[in-house]
Structure 1
Amino acid sequence: MKKYFTTPIGRLRLLAFLEGISLLVLVFIAAPLKHYFGYQTLSKNLGPIHGALFLLFVFNALRVGIEQQWKFRETTWKVLVACFVPFGTFYIDYKILRKIDKR
């Protein structure tokens, strides 16, 4: 657990998890509650939190990509696109980030 706070890739993995969870809650819980039941509180509160996590993830992914000298066409673009797709950050963590973190 300590590696998630001490290494740049560990922090990126943690942000990927948090951003992925916030996107899933926003898309599959908050949006339906807002549009079908008129309950807007969750989307109003979670929207800015997800936005901040999204920006932190993107900036951290770019920073780690530069530090690790990732080739943009091979790795960086995949990590960046993953934050737009539900479950994408979990897939990227499993396929790319976890393997790099174990080195």
Structure 2
Amino acid sequence: MKQTIKPIGQEINTLGKVINNKELMLVHLHLKSGEQIPSHDHKGQEVFFTIVAGTVEVVLDDTEIHRISTGTVLHFPGEAHVGVNAIEESDFFVYLINRQ
């Protein structure tokens, strides 16, 4: 009798919220050049942007500007207001980790 083996790993390649549980929300985003995400916050969470393709400009609290590109991770507290502008077509993951 052949036994089915359940895989250990899960490949994720869809856009939007790909994980959302009590510890972590993982969002996969793709923006075309010039597209923006309006300023907002993520209170109670630590935020990590991981750029896998392209370049985005991240504005924190309307004053601090970070231009990040492929291979860069940006970390900031969720209490900061964050807005994003795609300098070029970009693909990135946002990890939102809930503080305990």
TM-score for both structures, normalised by structure 1: 0.27
Larger helix proportion of the pair: 1
Larger Rg: 2
Task: Flag the structure with higher strand content.
Answer: 2
Task: Provide the TM-score with structure 2 as the length reference.
Answer: 0.28
